[in-house]
Structure 1
Amino acid sequence: MEVQIKGVHYSISSTLRENIEKKLSRLDYVKDHIVHFYFTIVKDSKDYKIEADVHFNWGKTSHVEVHDDNLYQGIDDLFDKLEVKATKEKDKIQSH
């Protein structure tokens, strides 16, 4: 799985990068099915927009986005959504 983490109008610190990589362990059950994982943090004037694009090995791409004024809470919320999305995708492919 290729992981890319970037910030727009925001500098990604090594602590934040480690936190995100640690949260990726929540997706270990589908990591063999994920080809690319693109994680972006955009700093707006009021809040953060945290988004992830996940490319699965069967050609499906999923986009998940969260807006929050607390960056770390937003990252947790994003990974909650990603877990649900990844589980649905994995179940779809296994049922076919």
Structure 2
Amino acid sequence: MQFQLSGQHVEITEAMRTHVTGQLDRLNRLDDRLTSISVVLSLDKLQQKAEGTLHTSSGALLHAEAYEQDMYVSIDKMFDKLVTQLRKHRDKVCDKHKAEARRDDRMVG
């Protein structure tokens, strides 16, 4: 999976990079067919903002953002949102394939 981390008005430290890459493992455990993720960390006045855009191999584009006082908390919340979206997407794709398989079985039988 391609990974891009950038910052707007924020210098990306090695600790931030390590924290984000640690969170990527959660996504990879859910689905190993992810193509790329882009994470943008920024500072908006007093709010620390984390944005993430995830591309899946099925063509889906998942996006999440979180605002918090602490950058690490906003990163965690953003990844929580992406995990939720990815689970929902996977369930939708699996349900669709199961429904097609049941329909095909009925036509054959």
The residue aligned with 1:65 is 65
Q: Which residue of 1 is the match for residue 90 of structure 2?
A: 90
Name the amino acid aligned to 2:57. Answer: N
**What is the TM-score when the length of structure 2 is the normalising length?**
0.82
Which residue is equivalent to 1:11?
Answer: 11
Tell me the amino acid that sits aligned with residue 88 of structure 2: K
Deviations 1:8-29 (A, max 9, x none): 1111011110111011111122
Q: Alignment partner of 2:45: what SS?
A: coil
Are 1:22 and 2:22 matched, yes or no?
Answer: yes
1:49 deviation in Å? 1.4
SS in 2 for 1:32: coil
| 3-state SS, counterpart of residue 46 of structure 2 | coil
Aligned partner of 1:55 in structure 2 is: 55
Q: What displacement does 1:31 show? A: 4.0
Q: Secondary structure at the match of 1:74?
A: helix
Aligned to 1:78: 78
Give the number of aligned pairs.
96
| Bigger radius of gyration among the two | 2
Long gaps (5+) in structure 2: 97-109
Name the residue aligned to 1:36: 36
- Give the TM-score taking structure 1 as reference length: 0.92
Q: Distance in 2 between the 1:31 and 1:92 partners?
A: 14
Structure 1: unaligned runs, 5 residues or longer: none
Cα RMSD of the aligned pairs, angstroms, is: 1.1
